Chains A and B, each alone.
Chain A
Amino acid sequence: MKAMHGPKHLPILLTGALILLVACIFASLAFGSRTIGWHELLDGLFRPAVQSYEADVVRQRIVRTIFSLMCGAALGVAGALMQSVTRNPIADPSILGVNTGAALAVVIGLAFFNLTSGTATIWFALIGALVTASFVFGIGSLGRGGATPLKLVLAGAATSAALSSLVMALMIPRSNVMDRFRFWQVGSVGAGNIDSIWTFFPLLAFGLLTALIVAPSLNALALGEEMARSLGVRTGLVKLLASMAGVVLCGAATALAGPIGFIGLLAPHVIRLVIGPDERILIPMSAMAGAVILTFSDVIGRWIGSPGELEVGIVTAFVGAPTLIFLTMHVKGRE
């Protein structure tokens, strides 16, 4: 009897992924503007009594590493969900206007509500992302056939364009807002602290769990709306849940770390190339791939930018663009 619930080499893939994960955690702890030796690394990790500059650096990097793993996982899964719901291989949550919605809310907060604290910024960004995504989903669902992929993409693109110009209109006359906004706008995982991890955790857990629950229904939905409904899928509900999970995941990551591009696109594509289109494996593996790619990008950014650092949003764009071009050339086109 053949295994029909996944590729036969799944154990090998899982082992490989775990090794990569451990390697990137190690790299993230050990490398940066200052390279830490093996001994100091162990001091920082397991010997809280030891007080040294290196051990403190490692302890700070633990938070940064966890935060970046969480952001990467969230963005990877959000991308996988959006690509599946919109049936568009180049979709990521920005297609529902999540990034621009979050940006607009942050700008409004800075301009009119005198936002100062980091936590308040997070909630503004998150609400902005959710409101925008619901708005886009609402418009995309109007008319015959409900929320078709094409209508969602069009509604998202139009809304994004409109909101971007609003962001500009609000920001340009206010130079102080512009400065603070720019700081948020370049994605960075360096801003993460223990508070952001605790804010992030429930949202991440909700998003991942929802994604895993809807995965089999997304598999059926991939065969087309009619086929899915014939199989007993409540397609409207599934699309709503999947998009909501995607928006919460991406919205939370964006709110905390700023807009980080390409991970949502890259992670699911790499996984799809290796394991195929089964969402039940694709979703958890995209979380893993997103976490690994983002964390490695952050390490590269710290290493290249030494003695300062290069924000991870910039690195992912540099790593992502060539990889995407490579993927476009090697992924078989649809007939």
Chain B
Amino acid sequence: MPGIMKVEHVTSGYGEQMILNDISLEIPSHQISIIIGANGCGKSTLLKTMARLIHPTSGHVTLNNKPITKMAPKRLARVLGMLPQSPIVPEGITVSDLVGRGRYPYQSFMKGWSQDDYEAVAEAMEMMNITEFADRPIDELSGGQRQRVWIAMALAQQTDILFLDEPTTFLDITYQVEILDLLTDLNRKFGTTIVMVLHDINLSARYADYLFALKQGRLVAEGKPADIVTSDLIHQVFNLRCSIMVDPVSGSPSVVPIGRHHVREDEDELATKLEWV
């Protein structure tokens, strides 16, 4: 099942407070999409609404034209996985136990662990390079290793669509790149549709096939990074002046912010020296 996910006129929020305002979009299948926007613009709310963690107050999120709120939770969980921003690590849990909990949607009370379950867990740990830690308690791992364990758990769930809410936050740059590379591997190897919220605009522009830019609960732009990332858009979305350069490594657009300090006097000259996109 390819799993075509659409958001149709969704308005959503917590209680009285509306955070998303009439959003419609379609998630590109088999691609990596990244949602960008300023703090509090509704990025996480959009992701949670698409993962049916929040029910929209109006509109629907549909998977293959069926509203996800009408699907059985376990069945949906075999198609759509979500790694929240700060899941809880139970005290003393080992890596393999945690990864194994991703198999929940495939299990039932009468049916114990199947061969498929073991294989899915082993494969997920292999993919995230954590097989050697299988029997170690998670408390002993570094932040980057822990995040790989969580992603392995989500992989063990074997879904066509995977959502991640800021999977690289609190990691240093090396691990951020490592996690994004691993997710790209996953997308290329299995064709998994990945949607994530990311803070770093430059890494977003590099790793995303497709970007959604949100401002105050509204979708203001969407498209390939090279097509939509302009200094105007960044100004509109983040209220930040900037220059756009071409990332010398990937060729994707790269944002160079302009603050109040450390800006050269001769701005015109600066503009000519930088390669504008």
Enumerate chain A interface residues (CB-CB to B < 8 A). Answer: 1-2, 4-5, 87, 89, 144, 212-213, 216-217, 219-220, 222-224, 226-227, 229-234, 272, 276-278, 331-332, 334-335
Contact = CB atoms under 8 A, between A and B. Distances in A.
11 contacts: A1-B122, A2-B96, A4-B121, A222-B90, A226-B48, A226-B82, A227-B83, A227-B87, A232-B78, A332-B139, A334-B91
Interface of B: 14-15, 48, 51-53, 72-78, 80-84, 86-94, 96-102, 104-105, 107, 109, 112-113, 117-118, 121-122, 134-135, 139, 157
Most A-side CB within 10 Å, residue of B90, B92, B113: B90
B22 to A, nearest CB: 23
A227 B102 CA distance: 10
B90 A230 contact: no
Given A232-B73, A276-B92, 19 more contacts: A1-B118, A1-B122, A4-B113, A4-B121, A89-B91, A220-B101, A222-B88, A223-B88, A223-B89, A223-B101, A226-B87, A229-B52, A229-B53, A232-B74, A232-B105, A233-B73, A272-B91, A272-B92, A276-B94
A220 B105 CA distance: 10
B112 A2 contact: no
Contacts of B48: 226
B106 to A, nearest CB: 10
A224 B104 contact: no
Interface of A, secondary structure class, is loop
A272 B100 CA distance: 18
B93 A277 contact: yes
Contacts of A220: 101, 104
A276 B93 contact: yes
Nearest to A333: B91
A181 B170 CA distance: 56
Nearest to B80: A230
B87 A4 contact: no
